Structure 1
Amino acid sequence: MNFEFALPGKIIFGPGKISETGKAAAGLGKKALLVCDPFCVTSGLAGKVLKHLDASNVKALVFSGVVPNPTTASIESGVLEARKGKCDVIIGLGGGSSIDTAKAIAVGASHPEPIWNYAIGKTPVTDKTLPVIAITTTSGTGSHCTCFSVITNPETHQKPGMGSPYILPRIAIVDPELMLSMPRALTAICGFDVFSHGVEAYTSNASNPMSDMFAEKAITLCSQYLPICYKDGKNLEAREMMALADTYAGIAICHAVVSLGHVVAHVIGGHYPDISHGDALFTIYREVLVFNSKSKPMANKHGFISRSMDESSDGIGAAFDKFFADFAFEKKLISKRPDSEKIGRISKETFTYMKGIADLNPVAANEDDVKVILEKSLR
């Protein structure tokens, strides 16, 4: 048995911990760029963070140009703001899109080439990357404790994950009180991302005993508390446990990465940027689980996943159906009615720019397998 394992940066966890933003930033720089979406500004949350920064004598600018499925253009706009403001620390406030954008800006503002060159691995990310603080307001992407930033190129329709240890947030602030206002639809798609992170890290060919420990706990907590959060979003204990599950799952994928489900969902998102990542995942995931359950070496792990969803169901597909029966997902891909040519292109691209991650799947897959998964998922 051989593996390497390292924990992420400092994690500040608990209700009200957003108040520690100023102190955290003061230890890393003198001028911050606060990266968020417009809602964080209009809701007053960005203003609250700015007050904490000011109290610690940290100057700050706000970049509120974050978009869902962050694009190269939106990131480059943030890079210009960071450079113009001579910012030396980047703070991501929000969900995965805001934190991924903050990570990418931290690279772009400190490196000479366009961000896309770093996203696709053409040019390596270096230790010149500006320090990042991640303040997560959702329980879904795990981006606050991963070394990945997902970037969409609208011109090429590609959506890779830029990976580098230098973009791992130095400090993550996880304040479950910020998640109490999440609407049900957002709770569902973010919570499903937590579940799928746990599942894919657990069954990845890159998994190890340490990543398994975090992945198992993430799956267990998600199975116990996601239904509660979905039904009662104001339940602070359930929100805390989902925030913890999200953090555990993020640590797990930072080491074991993800596999086929996420790769296909990323490719879908590249072609249909208006489809949320969690919704794309949910649409295909039952068939991905059934396909992967053929893995004999992973039989015990798939048994654990199935029992976590439902003790009595016969098979992982039935367990999935029963556990998520009361959840409402849009399944927007179905309404797009992708034709055979589009399905073929998605299947092919699964094994191009993200082939290395697809190869971590517990069952070796090819384009024909992905076509079948997509066709069954679209019925």
Structure 2
Amino acid sequence: MWEKQIDINKIAEIRAKTTVYFGVGAIQKIKDIAVNLSAQGIRKAVVITGKSSHIKTGAWEVVKKALDEQGLGYTMYSKVTPNPTVDQVDEAAKQAQAFGADTVIAIGGGSPIDAAKSVAILLAYPEKNARDIYEFKFTPEKAAPIVAINLTHGTGTEADRFAVVSIPEKEYKPAIAYDCIYPLYSIDDPALMTMLPPDQTLYVSIDAVNHVVEAATTIIQNPFAVSLAGETIKLIHKYLPHAVKNPKDLEARYFLLYASMIAGISFDNGLLHFTHALEHPLSGVKPDLTHGLGLGILLPAVVRQIYPAKSEILADILAPLVPGLTGSPDEAEKAYDGLRKWLKDLGVKERLTDEGFTEKDLDKLTQLAFETPSLELLLSMAPVPATKETVREIYNNSL
């Protein structure tokens, strides 16, 4: 049993802070949120979105009506791309500051929400810029209130204190984690996610799987993170094929969204290690690489590397994906092969070479994993020593 790998003398910090309105039709709760914001004296919002999903899903129509009814002014920044950049954050922050925004509303997946968290910091520190945040030139202790309307079931960022934004000229993709950027309110409405195409449905769900595999196996893991990991993987294994086959299956979307949310809370508590630390250089170098796909490519090799150190926990939480694991440390190869099969059965057959990487890139990627701000901290959370040789081996086994 995985419980034997928990140190009961270690004091765990358990986090679950954001108020999340969850369920079909939850978008209507924006009306109550708008009332609460108005009662707090908030008068103007900056709305942070991507190009069109806020329109196509119908989310903006509901949000706009709620803001209008409460007399809340708004300005919209709709230029956030996948793997958002510090330049986008700065542009959005300047627009928000010029408008006099005192709250931030994000509508979208992880990219708009993470960009919005960053803008919220800059509203509280107008003399700073996004590079200051992501090069860790200061430590934010405050931010404007954040409302996150989530449009994907993968990142969990609507319920945690993390954000990721890229610095293009350095090919850095750092992560931040501050208490001040927990959303005040979040909306998780599976009815807003029925338009996600099959490939994105796969990739965002793979992201959630990676969150919990890492959170359950860091050196600071705790029973809360591990329990959430097991539930996350069980639900994704059961409902992901249904959502891929029938994108409008609300029951499948509901439980995938629930899995994603609790996965976000899991890694908010247990943190992350190899897979995210190694994926960020991949999409830092190639911004068009979908984050969840990069994680999926790396996952089997990471599990192979860490399995001997966390065999009982991994055997337990991976049981739906890789049946027959007993928790013996010598099963690393079986776990690796089982995860490769699960991904292939889902239709994820890509390797790093398919995304344009070659053996010549391994040294650069390894260096980025250690020099990108924040990633060395993630590597320090790994259950086995995160040497450059280990990192390079994981990349090499993913080619």
TM-score by structure 1 length? 0.94
Query: In the alignment, does 2:244 pair up with 1:225?
Result: no
The separation in 2 between residues aligned to 1:300 and 1:41, in whole angstroms, is 42
In the other structure, the counterpart of 1:38 is: 51
Q: 1:208 to 1:122 in 2, by over 3 A?
A: same
Aligned runs of 1:168-207 on 2, under 5 Å?
A: 168-207=182-221
Q: Using the alignment, how far apart are the partners of 1:73 and 1:65 within structure 2?
A: 11
CA contact (8 A) 1:90 1:133 kept: yes
Shift of residue 371, structure 1, vs aligned partner: 1.7
CA shift, 1:7, in A, is: 1.2
1:275, 1:332 within 8 Å by CA — same for their partners in 2? no
The one-letter code of the counterpart of 1:36 is: T
Hey, what does 1:302 align to over in structure 2?
Answer: 314
Among 17, 20, 28, the alignment partner of 1:19 is 28
Name the counterpart of 1:329. Answer: 348
**Residues 104, 76 of structure 1: alpha-carbon distance in 2 compared, 3 angstrom cutoff:** same
> How far apart are residue 118 of structure 1 and its match?
1.5
1:260-294 CA distances to partner (integer Å, 9 max, x unpaired)?
Answer: 01100011111111111111111121111111112
Distance in 2 separating the partners of 1:223 and 1:8: 27
Equivalents in 2 of 1:106, 1:346: separation in Å?
31
Instruction: Tell me, in whole angstroms, the C-alpha distance in 2 between the residues paired with 1:121 and 1:206.
Output: 23
What is the root-mean-square deviation in Å for CA atoms of aligned residues?
1.7
Cα offsets for 1:115-151 (capped at 9, x unmatched): 1211232201122x10101111110011101101101
Partner amino acid, structure 2, of 1:124: T
SS of the residue corresponding to residue 90 of structure 1 reads: strand
SS at match of 2:52: helix
* 1:256 counterpart = 2:256: no
| Structure 1 residue 218 displacement after superposition | 1.5
Deviation at 1:246, TM superposition (A): 0.6
Percent identity between matched residues is 27
In the TM superposition, 1:203-352 aligns within 5 A as 203-295=217-309, 298-312=310-324, 315-329=334-348, 331=350, 333-352=352-371
Q: Structure 1's 22 and 330: CA in aligned 2 closer, same or farther, altered over 3 A?
A: farther
Stretch deviating more after TM superposition (108-117 or 156-165): 108-117
Among 354, 359, 384, the residue aligned to 1:363: 384
- Unpaired runs of at least 5, structure 2: 1-8, 326-330
- Cα deviation for residue 332 of structure 1 reads 7.2
Q: Answer yes or no: is the 8 Å Cα contact 1:23–1:53 preserved in 2.
A: no
**2:131 corresponds to which of 116, 119, 125:** 116
Q: Match of 1:6? A: 15
- The structure-2 alpha-carbon separation of the partners of 1:229 and 1:336, relative to structure 1 and needing over 3 Å to count, comes to closer
Which amino acid counterpart does residue 343 of structure 2 have in structure 1? F
What displacement does 1:162 show? 1.5
Corresponding residue for residue 5 of structure 2: none
For residues 172 and 336 of structure 2, the distance between their equivalents in structure 1, rounded to whole angstroms, comes to 30
Q: Deviations over 1:306-350 (max 9, x none)?
A: 312132477212321332232233737423443444210111222
State the AA in 1 paired with 2:156. Answer: G
Question: How far apart in 2 are the matches of 1:82 and 1:330?
Answer: 42
Letter in 2 for 1:360: M
Q: Distance in 2 between matches of 1:322 and 1:339?
A: 23
AA aligned to 1:362 is P
* Alpha-carbon distance in structure 1 between the residues aligned to 2:14 and 2:342: 32
2-side partners of 1:61 and 1:166: how far apart?
Answer: 22
Residue 228 of structure 1 deviates from its aligned partner by: 1.9
Alignment-mate amino acid for residue 5 of structure 1:
I
Q: Secondary structure at the match of 1:11?
A: strand
Contact 1:33 1:61 in 2 (8 A): yes
Is 1:66 paired with 2:80? yes
Query: 1:258 & 1:338 partners in 2: Cα distance?
Result: 24
Counterpart of 2:168 in structure 1 is 154
> Which stretch of the first structure deviates more once superposed, 137-146 or 337-346?
337-346
- Which one has more relative contact order, counting CA pairs under 8 Å at least 6 apart? 2
Amino acid at match of 1:329: V
8 A contact 2:352–2:398 mirrored in 1:
no
Structure 1 stretch displaced more, 192-201 or 224-233 = 224-233
Which runs of 5 or more residues in structure 1 are unaligned? none
Cα deviation digits, residues 165-186 of structure 1 (max 9, x gap): 0011011110010111111011
State the shift of 1:47 in Å.
3.0
Q: Figure out how many residues of one structure are paired with residues of the other and give that number.
A: 375
Q: Which moved more, 1:198-207 or 1:323-332?
A: 323-332
Q: Report the 3-state secondary structure (helix = DSSP H, G, I; strand = E; otherwise coil) of the residue aligned with 1:356.
A: helix
The 3 A distance-change label for structure 1 pair 233 and 208 is same
Cα pair 1:218 1:246 within 8 Å, conserved: yes
Which amino acid is 1:327 matched to? L
| Amino acid corresponding to residue 47 of structure 2 in structure 1 | L
Instruction: Give the CA deviation at 1:42.
Output: 4.7
Q: Secondary structure at the match of 1:60?
A: strand
